Amino acid sequence: MRSPLNRRGFIAAGAALAAGAAVPGLSGCAALAAADFDPDTLVIHSQLGGTAPGSATFRAVLDTFRRENPRIAVKSLVNGDELGQVYETSRLAKKEADVVMVNLYDKTVAWTELGATVPVGGYLDAWGLRDRVIPGALKEWTDPKGRLRALPYISSNWPVAFNTSLLRAAGVDTIPTTGDELIAAAGKLRAKGTAPVTIGGNDWTGQKLLAQIIQTFLTPEQARALYSTGDFSGLPQARDGVAYFVELRDAGVFTDKAQGLTTDSMTTQFNTEAAAMESAMSSALARVPGKVAARTEVGGWPPAPGAAHPKPTILRTYTVSGFWISPNGTKKIENVEKFVRFMYRPDVISRFVSEGGRDMAVKTDTLSDNFPLVAKAQRLGDSVSQVVLPDLYVPPSAVQPLIQATSTAFTPGTSARRILALLDGAYRHA
């Protein structure tokens, strides 16, 4: 989920290209050669590759699009977390893909501002697609100047998964809904040799959970202001949230050595039943093996007494993936329009939900019944409270320093004061 574009990086990378120097992160990249301008070739750059949920569906619908549009050659470029680096470098050479499917996070937040992609609100209206998009998605994808950065597509629920079989085996008969119940459950699980909450404390999953816990005593308005400014030490409610996190960590709620784990480590621990709980977005829920899913329930993160949220909390976001249009794409806008209209068709949307287990930012009546945990998360409704996803408010330069601070926060023995200083410093020294 990383992307290195900012004004300094954009200029520096441009100078490197002009000088013929190698740009870090470009190793193995085919995008520069692949995206040479061809008016009859539509180049799509996405993260939907391998076994990621929805990838097989994406490949299948691309084949359908090719059959229905034989005069349009479609080239699919796939990258993982390095997609942003690859795209930015190819854009500097003016050989970027025409359409990019990637999330709104980290430095992609600045793409439209910097001219790496174009505003798409006019296209959305001209193509008659505005009513197809969930209003909340349009709001999240619109920048402070009123520009729609990309056409919203994939969204996500982000609840907590509870393996009820492991909990019962440890003598925990109900899902924890308060901090005290969570701490008590963690003790019983550890006594049985089972890790309580697994989390990727060394990457974005840990950063999101830490942000969620910090918001225990924050209103949404306070959370948005906090993650825009980074004044953690100056806000009493934020200090209380960090103290609550430290209380949970020191009580053994999180898996051992969480500070060194990644998303893959986390999902492996939960999917192999080495851990009883995980904070998991719907794409991870879709990958839980059937036998484990059958004994798993979803809910929210247990709050502390005096919390600003009356119910256990979850994260939701409409910004998992959208269709960004590049300057090259504007030269092939008729083909881009055909592709986007096709992807917004109800039958195509339904396939991503029913076959790919994805939540969508586009309106649909289809539920992910083939992915029971995703479907359960879709039905949580008023049983949980929603906290603010910080992605849209954190300055791009602070994203990676915040993840580094998160790893230290999950390290046993790190004081609340030290965590607050690191969080503040992520904004000052990025």
Give 284-305 pLDDT, tens digit per residue: 999 999 999 999 999 999 999 9
Give pLDDT, residue 163: 98
Handedness of CA 46, 380, 289, 165 (dihedral sign): positive
Give percent of the chain above pLDDT 90.
Answer: 83
C-alpha 427: how far from chain center: 21
Q: How confident is the model at residue 50 (pLDDT cuts 50, 70, 90)?
A: confident
Give pLDDT, residue 16: 38
Quote the mean pLDDT of the chain: 90
Pick from 27-31, 32-36, 164-168, 266-270: least confident: 27-31
Span 221-232, average pLDDT: 96
Give pLDDT, residue 396: 86
Q: Does domain 160-279+395-428 have CATH number 3.40.50.150?
A: no
Give pLDDT, residue 36: 54
Q: How confident is the model at residue 73 (pLDDT cuts 50, 70, 90)?
A: very high
Same CATH topology for 7-156+318-375 and 160-279+395-428: the answer is: yes
Q: 226-259 as b/e, with b when 16 or more CB fall inside 10 Å?
A: bbeebebeebebbbbbbbbbbebbebbbbbeebb
Give pLDDT, residue 369: 85
Pick from 5-14, 110-119, 189-198, 281-290: least confident: 5-14
Residue-wise pLDDT for 5-27, tens only, equals 444 444 344 433 333 333 333 33
Q: How confident is the model at residue 37 (pLDDT cuts 50, 70, 90)?
A: low
Span 302-324, average pLDDT: 95
pLDDT at 52 over 90: no
Q: What is the pTM of this model?
A: 0.86
Give pLDDT, residue 33: 46
Q: How confident is the model at residue 2 (pLDDT cuts 50, 70, 90)?
A: very low
Class (C level, CATH) for 7-156+318-375? alpha beta
Span 34-58, average pLDDT: 83
Q: How far apart are CA 45 and CA 74, in angstroms?
A: 11
Give pLDDT, residue 428: 87
Give pLDDT, residue 429: 65
Span 306-327, average pLDDT: 95
Span 159-178, average pLDDT: 97
Highest mean pLDDT: which of 362-371, 392-401, 402-411?
402-411
Q: How far apart are CA 399 and CA 426, in angstroms?
A: 8
Q: How confident is the model at residue 249 (pLDDT cuts 50, 70, 90)?
A: very high
Give percent of the chain above pLDDT 70.
Answer: 91
Give pLDDT, residue 28: 36
Span 344-352, average pLDDT: 97
Domain locations along the chain? 7-156+318-375, 160-279+395-428
Q: How confident is the model at residue 367 (pLDDT cuts 50, 70, 90)?
A: confident
